[in-house]
Amino acid sequence: MSNLQLYAHAIGYPAEKVGGWGIEMRWELIPKPRSVFLRVKCLKCSNEQIVFERTSSYVKCTVCDELLARPAGGKAKIRGEVLQSLS
Ligand SMILES: [Zn+2]
């Protein structure tokens, strides 16, 4: 299993789709192999959910739809309370 496939697995992206990507995308996607998941608590309704630290999409609370994280180039900007890092 390549690093890229491992990474894809970590973000829940189907590995088959990753296979077609070029080498450039590969380097762009893995600046450092240190990405983690964060346990984030929604400030509005106190729901806890797991957010990928380097998410490239907007993450909303599954309960109240409050924005929990937004992409910011590298690490996401977390808007909720970070309770724990899961590496
Ligand atoms: Zn919420």
Q: How far is the CA of 49 from the centre of ligand 1 (A)?
A: 9
Which letter, b or e, does each residue of 11-33 get, where b requires 16 or more Cβ atoms within 10 Å of its Cβ? Answer: eeeeeeebeeeeeeeeeebeeee
Residues of the chain with CATH 2.20.25.100: 33-87
Environment of ion ligand 1 (residues, CB < 5 A): 42, 44-45, 47, 61, 63-64, 66
Query: Per residue in 51-74, pLDDT tens?
Result: 999 999 999 999 999 999 999 988
Q: What pLDDT is attached to residue 35?
A: 74
Which is higher by pLDDT, 15 or 45?
Answer: 45
CATH homologous superfamily of 33-87 equals Ribosomal protein S27 (2.20.25.100)
Ligand 1: centre distance to CA 66 (Å) = 5
For residue 1, name the pLDDT band (cuts at 50, 70, 90): very low
Question: What would the two tokens of residue 58 be?
Answer: 């907007």
Residue 65 CA, ligand 1 centroid: distance in Å: 6
Q: What is the pLDDT of residues 16-47, one digit of tens each?
A: 555 555 444 555 555 555 678 999 999 999 99
